[in-house]
A = this chain, B = another copy of it.
Amino acid sequence: MQFLFEIVDILTTYVRKTFDRSTKVLDFHHPHQLLEGMEGFNLELSDQPESLEQILVDCRDTLKYGVRTGHPRFFNQLSTGLDIIGLAGEWLTSTANTNMFTYEIAPVFVLMEQLTLKKMREIVGWPEGEGDGIFSPGGAISNMYSVMIARYKYFPEVKTKGMAAAPRLVLFTSEHSHYSIKKASAALGFGTENLILLKTDERWVADASHMRAAGCGYVPMFVNATGGSTVYGAFDPINEIADICEKYNMWLHVDGAWGGGLLMSRKHRHKLNGIERANSVTWNPHKMMGVPLQCSAILVRERGVLQGCNSMCAGYLFQPDKQYDISYDTGDKAIQCGRHVDIFKFWLMWKAKGTVGFEQHIDKCLDLSAYLYNKIKTREGYQMVFEGEVLLKILFPSSICPLSRAQVAPKIKALMMECGTTMVGYQPQGTKVNFFRMVISNPAATRSDIDFLIDEIERLGYDL
């Protein structure tokens, strides 16, 4: 137990430093450097045990050479921040070390999941929160669920007879949607060529007329509308897409992995107008809402279809003759057998912040985002890649240095990582060369951190 207290000491020191702006975001080393071993930090596994003292050193070093994703100046990923209540929740989950498949061994967690999913469905706007859902290991798997469920709804015989039992099916998504829709098409046996990538107009929204035209000769089955795209943070026009889905009897899925959090904000939820017409929704509290990784929900409007799609009635887990109401054994809805407890940290954060707390967090992030957008818009040396009201702000340093435009962002990012002062992603997209992609979801970030980032980009840019 003394060992656990020493670990906690290491961890709380790390947490404190994470929020301290005078510490670095990361201490970068190349893979070969870490593999060769750093001052007594040796990654190799051995036959003989190490001492507990060495284990503590290993823990300290693991954190030392890692990245502080909760640092107020870490803007690199859609999931950032380090919520203390969420962290406590995750420690508790690890300590309880149980599994979500049956009420039998996770009674409290199963009920928390059920209540929280219902609340989320209410917020989506489904009458009385009716429907179904499950927490899954991330948005990609949640999106995969949506395609599977849609197929089961329209062609249930595929479950037993395979894709040969269905006509040639076509799926739709915008060219700016998350790549997991493509992964799902490949994995589930549709084929990526049968996923039609819809062109987007200048506002980067799925073009409905393209969708109408694309289905000819095949059976159009599924449309993914993106609520907060990964790169631009843009929103597809859900109501417009829903009209088409109703007309052609297609499944409407909304991938709100990133943008779903806006549903918590009365001020901003209008961006997802029409989401209540979706058949299924992906919503990752581990992104915009700042819950520790992993926490991703797939919500389904119709009851029974998730269960029907996946159930195999394994006798060793889901016995019908248990002493309690077995409708609480939800494991047979999942494509997993064992399932990590992802709900508790989220439930605990919700208790601690209340719905209003999440709303304040979302509003604050959007305010910061507007601050950055306005700052960059009028600033020399930058060019906005994407105009308009969006969730992520995109900036592009175009004339700071003599490198080719495509090299600027990677070069600055590399210097940034070597300095370890801040961290932000970049990427090309279509004909656009590398640009910075700025993410604001960390509750610890302030305007001064945004200012710092801009200054740092310029400082590093002038050094090139």
Contact = CB atoms under 8 A, between A and B. Distances in A.
B158 A191 contact: yes
A103 B34 CA distance: 12
B178 A337 contact: yes
Contact of A69 (B65, B97, B194): B97
A95 interface: yes
Contact of A335 (B108, B140, B347): B140
A216 interface: no
B52 A87 contact: no
A371 interface: no
B425 A316 contact: yes
Contacts of A70: 97
A391 B335 CA distance: 26
Contacts of A339: 137-138
A34 B111 contact: yes
Contact of A353 (B49, B139, B356): B49
A359 B168 CA distance: 52
Nearest to A59: B92
A266 to B, nearest CB: 12
Most chain B CB neighbours (cut-off 10 Å) among A96, A178, A340: A96
A441 B116 CA distance: 33
Interface string A439-455: 00000000000000000
Given A94-B87, A292-B94, A336-B141, A1 B29 contact: no
Contacts of A357: 49
A46 B339 CA distance: 26
14 contacts: A8-B8, A8-B91, A48-B356, A49-B352, A59-B89, A62-B108, A66-B107, A82-B97, A140-B335, A163-B163, A163-B164, A182-B312, A231-B316, A293-B340
A62 B344 CA distance: 9
Given A50-B351, A356-B47, A434-B321, A35 B111 contact: yes
Interface stretch (A9-17, A199-207, A234-242, A268-276): A9-17
B108 A323 contact: no
Nearest to A311: B183
Contacts of A14: 95
Q: A interface, by DSSP: helix, strand, loop or mixed?
A: helix
Interface in A254-282: none
A283 interface: no
Contact of A63 (B92, B99, B138, B428): B92
A134 interface: no
B32 A139 contact: no
A105 interface: yes
Contacts of A16: 1
A107 B65 contact: yes
A224 to B, nearest CB: 14
Nearest to A54: B351
Contact of A92 (B5, B11, B336, B354): B11
A8 B2 CA distance: 12
Given A35-B111, A94-B292, A292-B94, A67 B4 contact: no
A106 B69 CA distance: 10
Interface in A12-31: 12, 14-16, 28-31
Given A67-B98, A106-B66, A180-B337, A165 B139 contact: no
A55 B352 contact: yes
Given A59-B88, A63-B95, A140-B335, 16 more contacts: A1-B15, A31-B103, A52-B352, A62-B96, A62-B109, A66-B109, A67-B104, A67-B106, A87-B97, A137-B137, A137-B340, A138-B337, A162-B190, A183-B335, A293-B340, A321-B407
